[in-house]
Chains A and B, each alone.
Chain A
Amino acid sequence: MKLGFFLKRKVALIGFLFIGLLLAVALAAPLMARIPPQDLNPANKLSPPGGAHLFGTDNFGRDVFSRVVYGARTSLTGGSGVVLFSTVLGVLIGAVAGYFRRTEAWLMRLVDVMMAFPPLLLALVLVSILGRGMLNVIVAVGVTYLTRTVRVAYALTLKIREEPYIEAAVASGVRQFAIVTRHVIPNMLSPIIVQATFTFAFSLLDLAALDFLGLGIPPAVPSWGNMLSEGRMYLTRAPWLLIFPGAFIVMTVLSFNLAGDVLRDRLDPQLQRNIEGV
């Protein structure tokens, strides 16, 4: 038991370290990347890794390393945006639906119907409406996670509203709005934080898939998904165009999943499993 336990912690520690490293890279991108990520150099296109270009160059002769570094910025911004959007709105809507029974029926019906649309399809349609662009993509993917967060927050609110301390607050004349913001929402934070970590991980996969399908961030912006989408044409000639951005996506998503696992063990052993089934 001990072995497994510490192994898990150690691996999770690597996850946290990688997230920290990635954050540092994203913040210090201009310092890390000596060659600007947009610099075209047609004379030097598709050159393999090594020498001046650590990760090689792409079909326009752009430096893959620089683009991966700036891609970290894009990915972390995108993931944070999705988490912020879906968590803040989701907790509010879920708590309102769970606490004010008048709103419950139609809000949850709407959420149920939205769940009938596969997230990626919904995101694709939303991006088509809003147009490509970072903010639009965040909203599009955020909406698909919103429904899940609402479900979780709703279930938690139903449980919390039966707790004695809520009754006590009601009995002592606290206004309903204050009960929701001061008593209900703070008490659901730990499972919500766990959920948010997994949302971050999986939203990165969705964001990359949108880029890959050509309905994500504009192609000029360096993002790991865009790099893979373009690199796909050179599958056999320049495999490094696929390997580096792909490996970074995997490592990032993996790190957040590991972090989420440990957080779940710490904060919330039961609930998440039942709802997300992961």
Chain B
Amino acid sequence: MSFPSEKGKIWPVDGVNLRILPGETLGLVGESGSGKSMTSLALMGLLPQPHGKIAAGSIKFKGRELVGLENDELTAIRGKNISMIFQDPMTSLNPVYTVGDQIAEAVRAHERITKAQARKRAVDMLAKVGIPSPEKRADAYPHLLSGGMRQRVMIAMALVLRPELLIADEPTTALDVTIQAQILYLMEDLKRDFGMSVLLVTHNMGLVAENADKIAVMYAGRILEEAPTRELFGAPSHPYTRGLLDSIPRMRGADKELKAIPGMVPTLQDLPPGCKFANRCSFRQTRCEIEEPPIFETWRGHSVRCWLFYEGLFYDGRRSR
């Protein structure tokens, strides 16, 4: 995927390979600016226009190629088969329409039904996401609802057409901690109910630990490590993933020192030629700065983009302890 910039094209996301099975939750984890949001927007065909482009690659949905589709073909898929909820429910709802109207609008964009029927679907869906007195709330304008309620509305809007895939981009970051748990619980519930897949995009390791089946760690537009959740937390392999986990405060082993990863994320305009993490890595070798490592599979379903795993050259990871 590419954007033009003053220093030539930039490539916020490069060589990302992800696979989500039906009913599965994939956690996509990364710092801000790592390209995780761009990846999710690309899936929807919603890269910022007119400059964002998918320069090469493929997005397959139920066997159908999405890259290169006409915009109206994508429009038919958006909201119906693939839905998305965004980070900030305060700004993601249009202030001038009632929430009922905005949900009904999603229905009427894809199905030929009357206004009254669409409204009924909206009200039913509001009930399903746990909004009390949905009949009344459907006529409320967004600014009258709390942040948690608005995120419930966003979820209702995204799920009203029972999509097969839900992309949730930092769905709880803007909410109070107590509300976060409620929203995640609701999403988990509906996911099981509807049998859909979820792409959970977040910077929060704790969030994916509890909610994802599989985790992909993203950095500077690359996937550095991907593994089933237990495997990743049990045997984090990439130095970056280990750094991430070391920087999370834990209840157990509180005596262990919290470590911050030194250094800064490189800017997209001047990415180093080799491994993108090399400048901050304590296991750096000369090769890391010259040549970008390919992906090595260290275990079934566990892949790492790091030279340390080249020809069994393991470093002192947790696995060996």
Let me know if chains A and B touch directly in the complex, using CB atoms closer than 8 Å.
yes
List chain A positions with a Cβ less than 8 A from chain B. Answer: 1-2
- Binding site secondary structure of chain B: loop
**Residues of chain B lying within 8 A (CB to CB) of residue A1:** 4, 50-51
Q: List 4 A-B contacts (CB under 8 A).
A: A1-B4, A1-B50, A1-B51, A2-B4
State which residues 28-63 of B face A: CB under 8 Å: 50-51
**Residues of chain A lying within 8 A (CB to CB) of residue B51:** 1
List chain B positions with a Cβ less than 8 A from chain A. Answer: 4, 50-51
CB nearest to B3 among chain A residues: A1
Taken together as a complex, chains A and B put the C-alpha atoms of A1 and B9 apart, in Å, by 12
CB nearest to B50 among chain A residues: A1
Taken together as a complex, chains A and B put the C-alpha atoms of A196 and B50 apart, in Å, by 33
Taken together as a complex, chains A and B put the C-alpha atoms of A2 and B4 apart, in Å, by 8
**Residues of chain A lying within 8 A (CB to CB) of residue B4:** 1-2
Taken together as a complex, chains A and B put the C-alpha atoms of A1 and B4 apart, in Å, by 9
State how many angstroms separate the Cβ of A266 from the closest Cβ of chain B. 13
State how many angstroms separate the Cβ of A246 from the closest Cβ of chain B. 38
Taken together as a complex, chains A and B put the C-alpha atoms of A2 and B50 apart, in Å, by 11
State how many angstroms separate the Cβ of A9 from the closest Cβ of chain B. 12
**Residues of chain B lying within 8 A (CB to CB) of residue A2:** 4
Taken together as a complex, chains A and B put the C-alpha atoms of A2 and B3 apart, in Å, by 11
State how many angstroms separate the Cβ of A8 from the closest Cβ of chain B. 14
State how many angstroms separate the Cβ of B235 from the closest Cβ of chain A. 44
CB nearest to A1 among chain B residues: B51
Taken together as a complex, chains A and B put the C-alpha atoms of A1 and B52 apart, in Å, by 11
Taken together as a complex, chains A and B put the C-alpha atoms of A2 and B8 apart, in Å, by 11
State how many angstroms separate the Cβ of B234 from the closest Cβ of chain A. 44
CB nearest to A2 among chain B residues: B4
State how many angstroms separate the Cβ of B76 from the closest Cβ of chain A. 28
Closest 4 CB pairs of A and B: A1-B51, A2-B4, A1-B4, A1-B50
Taken together as a complex, chains A and B put the C-alpha atoms of A2 and B51 apart, in Å, by 10
Taken together as a complex, chains A and B put the C-alpha atoms of A2 and B5 apart, in Å, by 9
**Residues of chain A lying within 8 A (CB to CB) of residue B50:** 1
Taken together as a complex, chains A and B put the C-alpha atoms of A1 and B51 apart, in Å, by 7
State how many angstroms separate the Cβ of B10 from the closest Cβ of chain A. 13
Taken together as a complex, chains A and B put the C-alpha atoms of A206 and B51 apart, in Å, by 41
Taken together as a complex, chains A and B put the C-alpha atoms of A1 and B53 apart, in Å, by 13
